[in-house]
Each structure stands twice: as structure tokens, then as C-alpha cells.
């Protein structure tokens, strides 16, 4: 489990919400969310705070806190991330400038210049994207009326789909199979690379009695019609090969602010410390 998975999970959160509302065109929140997504994607700049936690039986096995600033006009991005598993903490800074990504980790006197072309990570992420789209198609086909819309006093709108227990039997097998498949892909990639700025989480491999307990998707749109918050929660229970019971909980929270007002100052990259790195390439 490493930073590459966080990127994939970030994509999955956006895909989940986007797919739900593209399918559920008869819900009152569909047009609002569709137009908000269009406007959000055309913003010149924004600041995103992204938090992720994975728990096993209420014990944290991975957490991430990231701030992502994007300036599409000047083509500059910056990401600061704090990753933690049960025994390690890693602080990473990433910058995109002059057409390249650079990675710096606290405690390392090295700057990685990432070569992300033709990487296994990109092919795995594309496969994850396709699998998630197919899963959401199945999940929402018969659940359109369970999407709710609520107005807040500040003019914002909350759009939500919250499925529990017997509401999600059709997706249980599909979701559990998807999680196992991509966990194997992620582990294989980790074993092949072993980069010194990755940390991993010990995620139990569920083997039998796998059940999807809850799936909750939420979006908030402000009065200017920007998506300001998105969250995903998934709870899966099951037993490993040794018969030990596990309840795995994934929480993703994304807050977006400073639309068209985010500025990023380019950083000085010491050229004598740069190492070329083929990220994700086996």
C-alpha cells in the first residue's frame, strides 16, 4: 500500500460520485451536480485537502493527509502529504513545474524526477477506473430513488446515497471481488518496486464470508455551483484464511477551496540532487 494507491483511491471517489449522478438522471440532484462538475473542471486553480483512512477492526492501518494546489493556467501543481501506517510516518512534497514532477521526502537528501510514461501504475489505474464504472452501473441501476438532496442555510446543497445491509446485495460480490483483485495488483506492484519513499499498510486478505456492510457517497455544491466537498465510505467484513474476522473501513474526504484564487510559488530544485525515477515501472 503506497502513494500510488492513494491516487487511485482519489480517482475512485470522483468516479463513484460522477457515475452515480450520470446514471440517476431522474433525481432532483442530477442537473445540479452535473452542472457543478462542469464548472468545477473548468476552474483555473483550486486548493484541495484530501484525507484518507483505512481501518481494520477499528484500528488504523493507513492514514493520509494531503493538500493539493493546482494552477492550470501556469501549469504548476504542489502536493504535500503525510502518510502513516502502524509503525511509520512519511512526509512527502511533490511539485509539477517546467513540465516535470519532482518528489522530495523528509530525511532524504535526494530529489526524484518522475518518469511516469508507460508505467504499470497507469495501466492498473485505468483498469481500476473501468472496473469502478461497471460496479457503479450495477449498484445504482435499481437504487435511483434512494439518492437524497438537502438544502443548507448557507445556500449549499448536499447530495447523498447511503446504502446498508440488504440494500446492496447486488453489489456485494462485485465489490468484494474488485477489492481483492486490485489489492493483489497493488501488492504485486509494491513487491516489484520497493522505492524508499513508499510505506505500506498490512491489509488483511479476506478469503471467505465477505460482505459489503455499507457504501456511502456524499457531495456538497456551494451557491456558486462549485463542488466543495466529496466523501466516500465503504465498510466490508469477512474472514481471512486463518478464520480471523475483519471489518475493513475506508473513509475518503475531499474539501475544495480557493477556486480561481489559488497561487503557487515555484520552488528551487537543486539539480545536483536530482535522480531520474521510472515511477510504477516494473
Question: For 54-61, what is the mean pLDDT?
Answer: 94
In the predicted structure, residue 209 carries a pLDDT above the cut 70: yes
Separation between Cα atoms, residue 252 and residue 16, nearest integer Å: 12
Distance of CA 277 to the CA centre of its chain: 23
pLDDT of residue 16: 44
Do 106 and 26 contact (CB within 8 A), yes or no? Answer: no
pLDDT of residue 12: 43
Supply the mean pLDDT for the chain.
75
User: pTM score, two decimals?
Assistant: 0.74
Measured CA to CA, the distance from residue 93 to residue 111 in angstroms comes to 10
Helix, strand or coil, per DSSP, at residue 136: helix
Model confidence over 215-231: pLDDT tens digits?
A: 887 889 998 989 899 88
18-42 pLDDT per residue, tens: 444 443 444 455 566 667 777 888 8
Does the pLDDT value for residue 280 go beyond 80?
no
42 or 196: which leads in pLDDT: 42
> Are 116 and 125 a contacting pair, CB within 8 Å?
no
Mean pLDDT throughout 130-150?
60
Q: Is the pLDDT assigned to residue 141 strictly greater than 60?
A: no
Section 207-216 average pLDDT: 84
Amino acid at each position: 500500500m503506497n502513494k500510488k494507491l492513494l491516487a487511485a483511491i482519489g480517482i475512485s471517489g470522483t468516479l463513484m460520485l460522477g457515475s452515480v449522478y450520470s446514471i440517476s438522471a431522474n433525481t432532483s440532484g442530477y442537473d445540479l451536480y452535473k452542472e457543478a462538475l462542469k464548472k468545477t473542471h473548468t476552474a483555473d486553480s483550486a486548493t484541495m485537502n484530501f484525507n484518507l483512512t483505512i481501518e481494520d477492526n477499528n484500528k488504523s492501518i493507513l492514514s493520509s493527509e494531503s493538500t493539493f494546489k493546482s494552477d492550470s493556467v501556469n501549469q504548476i501543481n504542489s502536493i504535500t502529504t503525510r502518510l502513516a501506517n502502524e509503525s511509520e510516518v512519511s512526509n512527502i512534497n511533490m511539485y509539477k513545474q517546467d513540465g516535470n514532477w519532482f518528489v522530495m521526502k523528509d530525511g532524504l537528501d535526494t530529489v526524484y524526477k518522475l518518469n511516469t510514461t508507460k508505467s504499470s501504475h497507469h495501466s492498473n489505474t485505468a483498469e481500476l477506473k473501468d472496473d469502478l464504472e461497471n460496479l457503479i452501473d450495477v449498484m445504482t441501476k435499481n437504487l435511483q430513488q434512494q439518492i437524497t438532496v438537502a438544502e443548507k442555510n448557507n445556500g449549499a446543497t448536499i447530495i447523498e446515497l447511503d446504502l446498508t445491509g440488504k440494500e446492496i446485495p447486488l453489489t456485494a460480490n462485485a465489490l468484494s471481488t474488485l477489492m481483492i483483485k486490485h489489492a493483489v495488483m497493488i501488492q504485486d506492484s509494491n513487491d516489484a518496486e520497493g522505492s524508499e519513499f513508499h510505506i505500506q499498510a498490512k491489509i488483511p486478505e479476506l478469503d471467505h464470508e465477505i460482505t459489503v456492510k455499507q457504501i456511502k457517497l456524499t457531495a456538497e455544491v456551494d451557491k456558486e455551483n462549485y463542488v466543495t466537498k466529496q466523501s466516500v465510505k465503504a465498510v466490508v467484513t469477512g474472514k481471512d484464511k486463518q478464520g480471523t474476522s475483519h471489518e475493513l473501513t475506508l473513509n475518503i474526504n475531499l474539501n475544495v477551496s480557493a477556486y480561481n484564487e489559488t497561487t503557487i510559488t515555484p520552488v528551487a530544485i537543486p539539480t545536483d540532487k536530482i535522480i531520474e525515477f521510472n515511477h510504477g515501472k516494473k
